[in-house]
Chains A and B, each alone.
Chain A
Amino acid sequence: MDIFHLLSYGFIQRAFIAGSFIGVTCASLGMFLVLRKMSLIGDGLSHVSFGAIALGLFLGVYPFLIAVPVAILGSLLILKISEKAKVYGDAAIGIVSAVGIAGGVILASISRGFNTDLFGYLFGNILAITNLEVVFSVALSITVLGVIFYYYWDLFSATFDEEYARTTGINTSFINIILTVLTAVTVVLTVKMVGVMLVSALLVLPAVSALQIAQGFRKGIGYAVIISCVSVIAGILLSFVFDLPTGAIIVMISFLAFILASLRKRFT
């Protein structure tokens, strides 16, 4: 089967479009998250999404419509707990993450009939993405990227030196809220592609690979975007050709990119 034949399939086209937009969004956000030592927030929020998707299925509502607001609330809760309850950020992520999973498991146990759908979200399947989900993913990705563009220098300054950023009039508390809310939205989008279990890999791996080779922050984001898109597109193609799980293949290709970037750094 040649590549042009593959590209003629509607489900491959949908996967490419949604996957590319989500990949760009994950890579752009990932640079800020990794440098702020917030890599695990993606993991925590994906667990919250799991609970929210279970709630959506339980109520018979389209899961993403529930997952987006619940994940946003989860992200704000993580910020509040770490600010007000004298709890470290990673512990706050652990608390919210555990509550999300526990909620999902309870709903799954008391429901009848949606367990198969719910557990499908654990590992995702971008090849099964619908037209509506493509529109949803592209629209939300463009929104997230637009907000990153709008606040790019504020995000960069607060990530490089939060105290200094405040002396230049940047409201760093607001910027932290923006970053976590954008992460929540992105995580929900990514769950469909690689599943709850592998979301944080797509946020973290392209960014850490780019950090091995980047000479400049903007270049770093550019490299992360390229690595992410190549991983997603190659992952979709290879998983279809070899009949392997798409999310896992995307993550393994991202990891390969990380190894190559590390080797390049070591030998240059």
Chain B
Amino acid sequence: MTTIIEAKHVSVMYGRTVAIDDISFSVKKGDFIGLAGPNGAGKTTLMKAILGLIPVSKGRVMLFGLPQKSFRDYSKIGYLPQKHSGINPLFPATVEEVVLLGLLSSKKSPKLITKTDTDRVDGIIRTLDIGNLKGKMIAELSGGQQQKVMLARALVSDPELLVFDEPSTALDPKARQDFFSLVQKINKEKKITVILITHDTGYIGSYASKLLYIDRKLVHFGKISDMHKPNKTAPYFEKSEHHIIWHQHD
């Protein structure tokens, strides 16, 4: 099976502070990885380092079989960044303009928008059932609607890897469940590899096929069911007060 990400002994340092220490894992095509850990565990830092948004201090990252520094085909990656503060309420962008940003990865400057591009935007927003929002201002939408627009932006380039950073933060329980189900459907039907960063360990067990649990170091990587095996993670959780609830459904 094709390897999408291969991380070997990855460490990230901020000055003298070790944010990520010697983490190795690999992601195969079609995987749905839940990246979990307590607050400050380095989940976002790890993914940013994998995607090349921050430098890796030690170790090696391969993306789609290429060293991360040589990787240029950004249209293969759809990213939905963490948004605590939400969208600038003054920003006058329409939903169509925001989703078009997802197509820039496959263009060289001057990046001109063609009819094919706007057709692709129309297609993806219809698929996600937000076609009626096309001309609306992004800042005027609800949190759930904005999240769907950002998902459309991540999907419009037809990526092979989707990375979501805390996508459920701004959502109510119903919208959160709908969003996770939608991501799972995309993963299963389109065979798109998904990495979903969350501290919501209760939910992720229901959707992910594998769990990458970190606390600056790797605690567990593998099937979620293996997390329960005492010899796998007991040394970590015995020392820790972190409490994890897993839900699994067939």
A217 contacts the other chain (Cβ, under 8 Å)? yes
Give the residue among A149, A153, A219 with the most B Cβ atoms within 10 A: A153
Minimum CB–CB distance for A225 against chain B, Å: 14
A161 contacts the other chain (Cβ, under 8 Å)? yes
A166 touches B53 (CB 8 A): yes
A164/B79 contact (C-beta < 8 A), A153-B104, A169-B105, A217-B97 known: yes
Residues of B within 8 A of A170 (CB): 104
Residues of B within 8 A of A129 (CB): none
Number of interface residues of A (CB under 8 A): 28
Identify the stretch in A47-55, A77-85, A88-96, A208-216 within 8 Å (CB) of chain B at 4 or more residues.
A208-216
B51 touches A167 (CB 8 A): yes
Minimum CB–CB distance for A139 against chain B, Å: 20
Minimum CB–CB distance for A258 against chain B, Å: 14
A176 contacts the other chain (Cβ, under 8 Å)? no
Closest residue of chain B to A210 (Cβ to Cβ) is: B92
A154 touches B81 (CB 8 A): no
B74 touches A154 (CB 8 A): no
A168 to B107 CA separation, bound complex (whole angstroms): 10
Residues of B within 8 A of A117 (CB): none
Minimum CB–CB distance for A194 against chain B, Å: 25
A160 to B104 CA separation, bound complex (whole angstroms): 13
Residues of A within 8 A of B77 (CB): 167
Closest residue of chain B to A36 (Cβ to Cβ) is: B88
Residues of B within 8 A of A165 (CB): 101, 104
Partner pick for A154 among B79, B100, B104, CB 8 A cutoff: B104
A161 to B100 CA separation, bound complex (whole angstroms): 13
Partner pick for B98 among A160, A163, A166, A218, CB 8 A cutoff: A160
Q: Which of B22-40 touch A at CB < 8 Å?
A: none
A156 to B100 CA separation, bound complex (whole angstroms): 11
Residues of B within 8 A of A218 (CB): 97
B51 touches A217 (CB 8 A): no
Residues of B within 8 A of A216 (CB): 92-94, 97, 135, 137
A167/B53 contact (C-beta < 8 A), A152-B110, A216-B97 known: yes
A136 contacts the other chain (Cβ, under 8 Å)? no
A165 to B90 CA separation, bound complex (whole angstroms): 19
B167 contacts the other chain (Cβ, under 8 Å)? no
Residues of A within 8 A of B74 (CB): 167-169
Residues of B within 8 A of A119 (CB): none
Minimum CB–CB distance for B17 against chain A, Å: 16
Minimum CB–CB distance for A76 against chain B, Å: 21
B132 contacts the other chain (Cβ, under 8 Å)? no
Q: Mark A126-150, 1 if CB is under 8 A from B, else 0.
A: 0000000000000000000000011
A214 touches B92 (CB 8 A): yes
B109 contacts the other chain (Cβ, under 8 Å)? yes
B79 touches A167 (CB 8 A): yes
Q: Which of A158-217 touch B at CB < 8 Å?
A: 160-161, 163-170, 210-211, 214-217
B102 touches A168 (CB 8 A): yes
A169/B72 contact (C-beta < 8 A), A150-B109, A160-B91 known: yes
B91 touches A35 (CB 8 A): yes
Closest residue of chain B to A163 (Cβ to Cβ) is: B81
A262 contacts the other chain (Cβ, under 8 Å)? no
Closest residue of chain B to A34 (Cβ to Cβ) is: B90
A168/B105 contact (C-beta < 8 A), A151-B110, A163-B53 known: yes
16 contacts between A and B (CB under 8 A): A35-B88, A35-B91, A150-B110, A151-B110, A153-B101, A156-B101, A160-B98, A163-B81, A167-B77, A169-B105, A211-B92, A215-B94, A216-B97, A217-B93, A217-B94, A219-B92
The 10 tightest CB contacts between A and B, nearest first, are A168-B105, A169-B74, A214-B92, A153-B111, A167-B79, A220-B92, A216-B94, A150-B110, A168-B104, A157-B101
On A, residues with C-beta under 8 Å from B are 35, 149-154, 156-157, 160-161, 163-170, 210-211, 214-220
- 20 new A-B pairs (CB below 8 Å) besides A160-B93, A216-B92, A218-B97? A35-B88, A35-B91, A151-B110, A153-B113, A156-B97, A160-B91, A160-B98, A166-B53, A168-B74, A168-B101, A168-B102, A168-B104, A169-B74, A211-B90, A216-B93, A216-B135, A217-B92, A217-B93, A217-B94, A219-B92
